Amino acid sequence: MMSKKIRRRERDTILQSLRAGVVPNIGLQHIQVGRAEEVKALLEDIDRIQDGGSSIRFIIGEYGSGKTFFLHLIRSIAHEKKLVTVHADLAPDRRVHATGGQARNLYAELMKNMATRTKPDGNALSSVVEKFISTALNEARKSDDTVENIIHSKLEKIKEMVGGYDFADVIASYWEGHDSGNEELKSNAIRWLRAEYTTKTDAKKALGVRTYIDDSSVYDHLKLLAKFVRLAGYEGLLVGIDEMVNLYKLNSGIARRNNYEQILRIVNDSLQGSVEGIGFLMCGTPEFLMDTRKGLYSYEALQTRLAENRFASQAGVRDLSGPIIRLDNLQAEDIYVLLRNIRNVFASGNEEDYLIPDEAIEQFMRHCNEKIGEAYFRTPRNTIRSFVDMLSVLEQNSDIHWEQLIGSVEIEEDQGPNMTDLDNDEVDSDDELSSFEL
């Protein structure tokens, strides 16, 4: 069977990303292996979102187990299903809940990374707004009504929601700028939607609205955005948040609790069907979920709602209908297929240009197993990096044989960040009493 030709841009992006230990933004289909059951479960979620429903999933796995790759894969599938996606990593300056701007920073990062099928690399917010305007223009051409009336009629559905009145006014201001050729007004509207305004005074001066997107309104504006993208002609909104372990690492117990309360609000709304056309994917480690002292399970209401199916565990089977999806270990066969795929990427899809035979891949895997045991497929990130490094040497040095290199490959088990290395230098704005605790 002939391999599909891989474009140079895709090839270089994939290899550079794998060598750096990160997930490539394009070309995932060339290296994807396994996870068929998990993908099927998320496809059902996407169908639910398209039908106007909601979903929430916590993707749980060890460091290097493929959570970020899985998140990217589901995003690419969502684009093909005509969903808009936004994604961001949590960090010390980005949280789900805060009072010092960290939640607004998270929203701003989500907007920066907004993507669609035609703009998969991000910065798609302007395109989504333009599509809404184009939809209104098309409806106006088919009727005797004006574009202004069509837009305001559509936005009536937005105004009914919390924060919707000013959101609708900002969209109307964008149309005004579009119609009059006022680029500054259009730019101001996009800045507001990206949460770039930090005071009411600036927002009112620029757009005449009374509010701006702040820490307390982030979740409400995600719900507004989900409604808006559907009005623009998309099927819904998928929100991906990675590195949730940063909440687990917070020193302040009050800050953690406030964030977990916000997550509980999202869980309740998603599971009860109180929101429309929106789905959430939150990626974290087992400690983030199960630690009863600092993890999600430390918050009793979340522990109850996120409890896994005991009957499934007793029967030795998996239940993927609940909010928790655990990324099980890749099997050795999956790793073998993955390494073959990487070899194919190096050759740009040309079998005649393969740098090593199948025998070399088998020998490489035996070497990995002898060095670090089963961990080489439990958290395969470092194994992949080593394999890419080896092929890079062979590609640049035609006089070296693969057998000379495999025995010298050094692979370390991926342990992830040191969980005791917490951010002690930061003052927590969520916890004004924290500096007085003993």
Q: Please report the pLDDT score of residue 381 as a whole number.
A: 77
Residue 57 near residue 417, CB atoms below 8 Å: no
Residue 379 near residue 350, CB atoms below 8 Å: no
Q: Please report the pLDDT score of residue 404 as a whole number.
A: 87
Q: How far apart are CA 266 and CA 177, in angstroms?
A: 35
Nearest to 48 by CA among 271, 214, 347, 265: 271
Percent of the chain with pLDDT over 70: 89
Nearest to 196 by CA among 184, 207, 208, 188: 188
Which residues, at least 6 apart from 268, have a Cβ–Cβ distance to it below 8 Å? 274, 305
Strands (E), 278-436: 278-284, 324-326
- Cα 257 to the center of its chain, rounded Å: 23
Poorest-confidence range of 25-34, 221-230, 341-350? Answer: 25-34
- Band (pLDDT 50/70/90 cuts) for residue 432 is very low
Q: How far apart are CA 119 and CA 4, in angstroms?
A: 23
Q: What is the pLDDT of residues 341-353, one digit of tens each?
A: 999 999 999 999 9
Q: Please report the pLDDT score of residue 290 as a whole number.
A: 95
Poorest-confidence range of 72-86, 124-138, 198-212, 357-371? Answer: 357-371
Res 64 pLDDT > 90: no
Helices within 21-81 (DSSP H only): 36-50, 67-80
Q: How far apart are CA 295 and CA 256, in angstroms?
A: 9
Per-residue b or e along 369-380, where b marks 16 or more CB atoms closer than 10 Å to that residue's CB = eebbeebbbbbb
**Residue 238's beta-bridge partner residues?**
85, 279
Nearest to 284 by CA among 105, 65, 114, 109: 65
Domain spans in the chain, listed from the N-terminal domain onward: 1-34+330-412, 37-116+234-326, 126-213
Q: Please report the pLDDT score of residue 330 as a whole number.
A: 75
Place of tokens 């990593």: 89
**Residue 60's beta-bridge partner residues?**
284, 326
Q: How far apart are CA 330 and CA 341, in angstroms?
A: 15
Count CB-CB contacts under 10 A for residue 2. Answer: 7
Q: Please report the pLDDT score of residue 426 as a whole number.
A: 44
Res 175 pLDDT > 50: yes
Nearest to 324 by CA among 42, 35, 36: 42
Helices (H) and strands (E) in the chain — how many of each? 20, 5
Residue 327 structure tokens: 């990324």
Widest pairwise Cα distance in the chain: 77
Q: What is the pLDDT of residues 240-256, one digit of tens each?
A: 999 999 999 999 999 99
Parallel/antiparallel/unpaired status of strands 237-242 and 278-284: parallel
Q: Candidates 3.30.70.20, 3.40.50.300, 3.40.50.970, 3.30.200.20; correct CATH number of 37-116+234-326? A: 3.40.50.300
Residue 184 structure tokens: 């500054």
Residue 385 near residue 19, CB atoms below 8 Å: yes
Strands (E), 274-402: 278-284, 324-326
Q: How far apart are CA 297 and CA 295, in angstroms?
A: 5
Which residues, at least 6 apart from 94, have a Cβ–Cβ distance to it below 8 Å? 88, 102, 103, 105, 106, 109, 246
Work out the angle at residue 219's Cα, subtended by the Cα atoms of residues 152 and 83, and round it to the nearest 5 degrees.
Answer: 65
Residue 240 near residue 77, CB atoms below 8 Å: no
Residue 283 three-state SS: strand
Task: State the chain's mean pLDDT as an integer.
Answer: 88
Q: Please report the pLDDT score of residue 416 as a whole number.
A: 54
- Cα 259 to the center of its chain, rounded Å: 18
What is the pLDDT averaged over residues 367-387? 75
Residue 284 structure tokens: 């974290």
Task: Describe the crossing of helices 125-141 and 183-193 by its angle, rounded to 10 degrees.
Answer: 120
